[in-house]
Amino acid sequence: MLMSLVKTVAAGVLHHTGYLRRAERPALTVLGYHRVLTTPIESVTTSPLGMVATAEMFERQVAYLARAYNVVTLEQIQEACEGGRPLPERAGFVTFDDGWADNYTVAYPILRRLGAPATIFVTTDYVGTEREFWFTTLMRALLEGRRPLQAGDGRAAGWPAEVAGELDRMAGLPRPLRPWHTDRLIEMLKSYPETRIDELVAALAGRLHGPAGESRESFFLTWDQLREMERGGMSVASHTCTHKILTQLADDDAAEELGRSRERLEKELGHPVLSFAFPNGDYEPRHMTLAQEAGYRYFFISTKLRPGGPEGRVFVRPCVHDGVGRGPTGGFSPSLMELHMSGVWDRIRKIAK
């Protein structure tokens, strides 16, 4: 509550004094989306809410970008980086990570209507498959499971004490469990190696709702959908093969994720793929080197602002979700939208932590 008041006041002051327009704005303002859903936000059971925008808010956010900025394509950015035509003043750019099917079914028609191009960074091993990310399996088990979570389930599923303790805490929450209740658990699990996370999630899901990975929908885009969107003015680039966080991999495995995903994209799409977005925004300077060795020239990172990378070719993306630009009374607020897009809010939050 206090934080939301601070945010609203800060946004108003910074916006109306022109600070957000002047202050350290990069040449390119990038929006980093994941999913766009028609489901009411409180009934989402397949992704953390920080990754979800409703169709209604997505349309307002992108409409604002299209009104207040010059929305550019990936090709325009790459050309400007190579000394070609410079980007227009107040250039804006829309991106999606992971390659969720809703990018085609929900977001694409809205983007077409608004005349706004976007770029999708896909995890190539998931394209056209029925696979799901581990956090989707976990959330479905906890929020849709046939048997509700009970204290002791984590220990019984072989979970380490720290994360089993978080499950016990969640078991004590009033029912039903809501999507935001799973955020802390998901963040805690991210510190484990991916193969270990998969084992832990499968063991828990087995206890709560039968076999893990049993899915009611296809979560990811197909190659045909990606090709169709490219013909419609969108662009596609790489977000690795399997979405493993590069900093948790041996360098050989990181290089494989980088190289193999680029080869697959080029084969399926029939053009060079030179842009890359880091899963979870995590990298060390050596991963920038590995990515360049794999043939990438342009890099999209989160507001975690890690060092390194080729000058002028690394672009920071504030993550955009349903709450971004939503004012205290639920309507759309350009000031709050600007506060997020500028990256200033992420910096304020970091200081406040």
Q: Which residue lies nearest Zn ion, judged by its C-beta?
A: 97
DSSP 3-state of 96: strand
What minimum distance in Å lies between the beta carbon of 281 and Zn ion? Answer: 8
Alpha-carbon radius of gyration of the chain: 20
Is 24 exposed, middle or buried, given 0-12, 13-18 or 19+ CB atoms closer than 10 A?
exposed
Copy the structure tokens of residue 306: 């890690």
Is 279 or 318 the residue whose CB approaches Zn ion more closely? 279
For the bound state, the minimum distance from the C-beta of residue 97 to Zn ion, rounded and expressed in Å, comes to: 4
Residue 144 contacts by C-beta under 8 Å, 6 or more apart in sequence?
A: 45, 209
| Shorter beta-carbon distance to Zn ion: residue 190 or 227 | 190
Nearer to Zn ion, 97 or 102 (CB): 97
CB of residue 239 to Zn ion, shortest distance in Å:
6
Residue owning tokens 């989402």 = 44
Residue closer to Zn ion, measured from CB, 134 or 159: 134
User: Given the rule CB under 5 A, which residues bind Zn ion?
Assistant: 97-98, 279
H helices of the chain, in order, are: 2-16, 19-22, 55-68, 74-81, 102, 108-114, 134-144, 153-156, 161-171, 183-189, 194-209, 223-231, 251-269, 285-293, 334-341, 344-352
CB of 82 to Zn ion, least distance (A): 27
Q: Which is nearer to Zn ion, 53 or 344 (CB)?
A: 53
